[in-house]
Structure 1
Amino acid sequence: MPEVLVADDDPHIRQLLVFALEKAGMVVREAADGEAALAEVARARPDLIVLDINMPRMDGLEVCRRLRAQGDLPILFLSSRDDEIDRVLGIELGGDDYVVKPFSPREVVARVQAILRRGRAMSADQGAVSGRGRLAIDEAAWLARWDGVDAPLTVTEFGILKILAGAPARVYSRDAIIDRLHGPGFAITDRTIDSHVRNLRGKFAALGGHDVIETRPGVGYRLGPCQGGAA
């Protein structure tokens, strides 16, 4: 049974999510603020954290920064409708997805299940190491490497890279990427995909890989030559 940590300072929201997630077959723990969330993760790492952006003592963005410094724990953000800047920043910090308040508990459950499903599929994939140029993708180990150095990717970032690498000559629209990540009809904005791609580029650029993803203006993205030159 997957274990999920729900971090939100509103006890009513926590109660709703605990009920919905447990009904979907998950083990759920709670945290009422950012510091408590970090303490819970340190005590026992969950499979995913549902993380509110606006919390006392430490907000969700700072929690995300600290978690990303430690590893790739999947993160689903909760944000207010008027916090678009925070939502985009949350994705750029390494969040896998977000849900806007007020939300349907079913939507949160669906997004949690989608993230966990991608993680399980990637972990269970027994395909050989693939790649292009100086990029290597080990699907069985759920790792991407540049010149043998691991790139610390989130579940969603790895999923996007895997999609692009699966057909290197193809240009994928943002909608096509969303459909392959979540299934048709899943509500995510183009800007969210752009933020994930920007994260991917930044992580590989830090390793010397400046040409991992190409942009085709007005169309979408495709895998670059992965030789280390400018994208």
Structure 2
Amino acid sequence: MNRLKVLVADDDPNVREILRLFFHSHQYDLLEARDGAEAVELVEREAPDIVILDVMMPVMDGFAACREILKKRDIPIIMLTAKDEEFDRVLGLELGADDYVTKPFSPRELMSRIKAIFRRMQRRPAAEEESRTALEYGELTIRPDRREVFAGGEKCVLRPKEFDLLAHLAKSPGTVFSREQLLEQVWGYDFYGDIRTVDVHIKKLREKLSPMKDAYIHTVWGVGYKFEAVTDDAASGD
């Protein structure tokens, strides 16, 4: 099995040294960046398996680096955020980060987050085999086999977890899922993030599906969310 290549971007040399010693002792290859711009460059040149981005960095901060990296590659990203900074955590998730760790943290905790992300990624192909049939609801078409979504005839570009969430809801139209159920069933038991992760992804999905005249994802106040199927008759107003 190939050694996992981890890129850590943090302007604090002490943090990088601690992680360097820890990851090397656990047979991980570590790439180091001192700022966001250097992280973006290393992603292009070295193709790491996962990226750890500190939010507060010179030249280019972690948010900007996350945005630039995901324009070029679909790669897992964990954000390092200041303790109790909810805005940082939510913004990182909205930009497409997979998880976050608050400072101060232990290297063992960070490694656990990394392992959890890759366990979820390994489970994804098996889940995709469960459904090869396209889901069609009015203007919306979901192709689980190709992981493609077409909204109003146009291809809709979704992040992997956005697709997983939409497909999960669409496979059970009318069923109300609590946030806890969605975290458990879409993210998995080993997800470390908080429950607001679901709200952030629902918000992004609604934004990306907004060109369609029909709303598909509905909030059930006090409970969670459901997918409301739109039939051809309903879409035409009959």
TM bracket (short chain): 0.7 to 0.9
Q: What CA RMSD, in Å, does the superposition of the two structures yield over aligned residues?
A: 2.7
Amino acid at match of 1:138: R
Cα separation, 2, equivalents of 1:24 and 1:182? 26
Query: Identical aligned pairs, as a percentage?
Result: 38
Pairwise CA distance, 1:170: 1.8
Q: Which runs of 4+ in 1 moved over 6 A?
A: none
Cα separation, 1, equivalents of 2:219 and 2:26? 39
Decide which of 212, 215, 218 is 1:208's aligned counterpart.
Answer: 212
Cα-to-partner distance string for 1:112-147 (whole Å, 9 max, x where unaligned): 222223333334533414324133333343333324
Q: Does 1:152 align with 2:143?
A: no
Contact 1:209–1:226 (8 Å) recurs in 2: no
Alignment of structure 1 residues 1-231 onto 2, 5 Å = 1=2, 2-22=4-24, 26-123=28-125, 125-126=128-129, 127-133=131-137, 134-147=139-152, 149-184=154-189, 186-205=191-210, 207-208=211-212, 211-225=215-229
Pairwise CA distance, 1:108: 1.8
Task: Could you tell me which runs of 5 or more consecutive residues in structure 2 were left unpaired when the two chains were aligned.
Answer: none
Contact 1:20–1:105 (8 Å) recurs in 2: yes
Contact 1:79–1:98 (8 Å) recurs in 2: yes
Q: What secondary structure sits across from 2:176 in the alignment?
A: coil
Pairwise CA distance, 1:43: 1.0
Contact 2:120–2:188 (8 Å) recurs in 1: no
Cα separation, 2, equivalents of 1:194 and 1:91? 10
Pairwise CA distance, 1:20: 4.4
TM norm structure 1? 0.83
Amino acid at match of 1:61: F
Amino acid at match of 1:211: A
Contact 2:116–2:191 (8 Å) recurs in 1: no
TM norm structure 2? 0.81
Cα separation, 1, equivalents of 2:75 and 2:96? 10
Pairwise CA distance, 1:10: 1.7
Structure with higher Rg: it is 2
Contact 1:7–1:52 (8 Å) recurs in 2: yes
Pairwise CA distance, 1:173: 0.9
